Structure 1
């Protein structure tokens, strides 16, 4: 027997005495939570997370959206607001100039005081609102350039975790994930808001 054959024989003998291989575990099941979308506990958790991220939250009835938005804009001193073409007309405030986005240039968008959009989904555990450029949300530019973003979220859009949100989203759409106002830190770790998006975020949680 050659040296090679002896080594292989020892390996075969060792493997024959070894216990049977245990199959590798599959991916863990995706967590969906035990509360369905829109559950009051999820809505309350989302509210708390948003407040932690320095967003201002308004919980109102569906019929009060336009009035609430008008109050937010008035308190902020906003005189103009851009809206996507598909935003429900009953949400639009009548107290300021409403500009419908029709591929407005970036300079024009940056000069507007506020933007009003809907949402695609909201994640309670992370306090995150996701926009997917739907007709009632518009292209990404309108939610990034104005200084104030007012976003309307319906209770049926509030899910427990990120996996639940991903189940509702289409991956090839332009997704914008928002967790509070835009913020970063400078070299001395001082918080700076409004660098990469709106400096102020108001979320209108409606019961409709």
Structure 2
């Protein structure tokens, strides 16, 4: 007999189905092999301070962000932090030399903890932004969660490249949802530090 679904922790974002199963409390840690992963629970009021503490705690003097990152996320950063906004001047070499990156995400799967970033998606930037710096801070709103892999497959556009924060595809555990035909996906396995900032109590901005 299947176990009953856990209670949902937040209402779905516009256009997203209600989670079939979910978590109450903290977001499950993604099974990200080869990386130090931590999840930090906060509210919209505390988000900027959690981000600032993570940047300071890793002694990051430079931070890369998408061009459309919400400025309130960065409002508590130390004044000496060098902000590098994504654009032509942020070359792969400079991005690789940047201490940390701050992004949002497209959605996350409550059953597994896997997180998806769409290339060029709102507050997500390009694939290199979340891959090249050694420290990635990913903001996840509770309302960006979907219940299971099937929900994620329905929501992710097949013509958009997606980066999954997940276990490697060769792992025996459940990994990223199988994409629809024509979709471009990549699973990130590079050794790095990942901090997921799980924001409760609000609806996330609309994301493609």
> Same fold by TM-score, threshold 0.5 exceeded?
yes
Q: Does structure 2 conserve the Cα–Cα contact (< 8 Å) formed by 1:36 and 1:159?
A: no
1:38 corresponds to which of 10, 30, 38: 10
Q: Which region of structure 1 is more displaced relative to structure 2, 140-149 or 36-45? A: 36-45
Q: Does structure 2 conserve the Cα–Cα contact (< 8 Å) formed by 1:66 and 1:91?
A: yes
**Residue 206 of structure 2: aligned partner:** none
> Cα distance, 1:157 vs. partner?
0.7
Structure with more helix by fraction: 1
> Cα distance, 1:78 vs. partner?
0.8
1:102 corresponds to which of 80, 87, 107: 87
**Residue 119 of structure 1: aligned partner:** 105
Larger radius of gyration: 1
CA distance in 1 between partners of 2:40 and 2:66 (Å): 21
Q: 1:73 is paired with a residue of what secondary structure?
A: helix
Distance 1:159 1:46, change over 3 A: farther
1:77 aligns with 2:59: yes
CA distance in 2 between partners of 1:89 and 1:125 (Å): 31
Unaligned ranges ≥5, structure 1: 1-32, 185-194
Aligned residues: 166
What value does the CA root-mean-square deviation take over the aligned residues?
3.0
Q: 2:41 is paired with a residue of what secondary structure?
A: strand
Q: Give the TM-score normalised by the residue count of structure 2.
A: 0.70
Q: 1:102 is paired with a residue of what secondary structure?
A: coil
1:50 aligns with 2:30: yes
> Cα distance, 1:123 vs. partner?
0.6
CA distance in 2 between partners of 1:44 and 1:200 (Å): 25
**Residue 63 of structure 1: aligned partner:** 45
Q: 1:156-171 counterparts in 2 under 5 A? A: 156-171=143-158
2:199 corresponds to which of 194, 203, 206: 206
CA distance in 2 between partners of 1:51 and 1:45 (Å): 18
